[in-house]
DNA sequence: ATAATAACCTAGTATTTTAGTCAATTATTA
DNA sequence: TAATAATTGACTAAAATACTAGGTTATTAT
């Protein structure tokens, strides 16, 4: 399963576009500055995002990137899948040949975890993130995304 | 967030013990052979599992490892946390300083994803996995763990 | 006693992935 | 036509992952 800064950067960058594309296309140089992500790295990520049809590009002065679809129609899972290739918590990538010829004993576990993660990320759209961010900036509590303050230290995970 | 083969190996190895510890402690050499995991790698993993109090060890001939608690009291999240140190989908590891001085725009998203994953893995115990495996071997459908056959190809993730 | 067993420990290494740099080229527009 | 900004490809540093090697220590069966 792939949930790296690559995917995080991509989501952040897409959110930056969603927030700033009101008048003009958004340049990678702008995103780079605002979000503190290397320009060249962004170029690599956007090459994939464009190929997956998530953004459209305009070259030359005044150019940049726009969302190719309405923000409400772009899910987080979609963005991560575009840059990270495969969201998969199983060893085998769905081939079900994790151990010898058959499934490994924990295949079902990872497969169902996979579905859980995917379900969640599929349910969150860029529009949700925009909403959340706007509310945050206005000093309101975030609501679109259910935020839980629970910590994740080992001591708290194990009873 | 860390969901690597390390954690998968650890869960598989723990499950192997749960299935085989009926009479004697289970040796790493046995696990290595049955699960096709390098012995030395297992030793490293079990060093951590032991330090976290998940297994107890017996040295010498006839020795090996046993679960330190009933299988029903050992959750998958606990095992993964023991070997992978930290389950965390956020960039900052919970410090909330992901971007400059404040939270990055997607902090809430990763934080809540984190909770989702953790909730799920906390709810699955080794006993559940044993059940599932026994049913599988008996040719019955798995029930303890809800298995979904849904695929996770990019084309299916994005509408 | 002692030889076999199996945990335990430390250090190192190969491979892969991540995250990034560098240097160009191409299209567009002011 | 000069500046802009996407586009491309090749290359690199650092980290993490997944191991290997070689020992030591404790225990037990003989």
Q: In the 8-state DSSP scheme, what is residue A91? A: S
Does residue A72 register a pLDDT over 90? yes
Nearest residue, CA→C1' of D3: A61
Q: Which of A45-49, A107-111, A140-144 has the highest mean pLDDT?
A: A45-49
Predicted TM-score (pTM) of this structure: 0.84
Give the chain A residue whose CA is nearest to the CA of B94. A151
Q: Residue A49: in which H helix or E strand, if any? A: helix A39-51
Give the chain A residue whose CA is nearest to the CA of B121. A113
Task: Calculate how close chain B gets to A50, using CA atoms only, in Å.
Answer: 14
A52 touches chain B (CB under 8 A): yes
Spell out which residues of chain A touch residue B50, defining contact as CB-CB under 8 Å.
none
Does residue A95 register a pLDDT over 80? no
Contact A91, A1 (CB under 8 A): no
* Cα–Cα distance for residue pair B65/B125, rounded to 1 Å: 18
Task: Calculate how close chain B gets to A39, using CA atoms only, in Å.
Answer: 17
**Side-chain half-sphere of B108: how many Cα atoms within 13 Å?**
17
- Asked if A109 and B117 come within 8 Å (Cβ–Cβ), the reply is no
pLDDT for the residue B148: 45
Q: Which residues contact A116 (CB under 8 A, 6 or more apart)?
A: B116, B117, B120
Sequence length of chain A is 159
Q: Which residues of chain B have pLDDT under 50?
A: 1, 91-97, 101, 144, 147-152
């Amino acid at each position: 399963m792939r949930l790296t800064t690559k995917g995080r950067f991509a989501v952040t960058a897409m959110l930056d576009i969603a927030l700033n594309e009101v008048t003009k296309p958004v340049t990678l140089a702008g995103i780079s500055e605002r979000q503190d992500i290397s320009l060249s790295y962004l170029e690599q990520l956007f090459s994939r995002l464009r190929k997956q049809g998530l953004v459209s590009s305009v070259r030359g002065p005044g150019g940049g990137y726009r969302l190719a679809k309405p923000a409400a129609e772009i899910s987080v899972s979609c963005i991560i899948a575009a840059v990270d290739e495969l969201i998969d918590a199983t060893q085998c990538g769905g081939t079900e040949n994790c151990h010898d010829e058959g499934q490994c004993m924990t295949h079902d576990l990872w497969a169902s975890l996979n579905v859980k993660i995917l379900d969640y990320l599929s349910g969150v759209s860029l529009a949700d993130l925009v909403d959340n961010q706007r509310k945050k900036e206005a000093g309101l509590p975030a609501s679109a995304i259910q935020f839980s303050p629970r910590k994740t230290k080992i001591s708290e995970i194990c009873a």
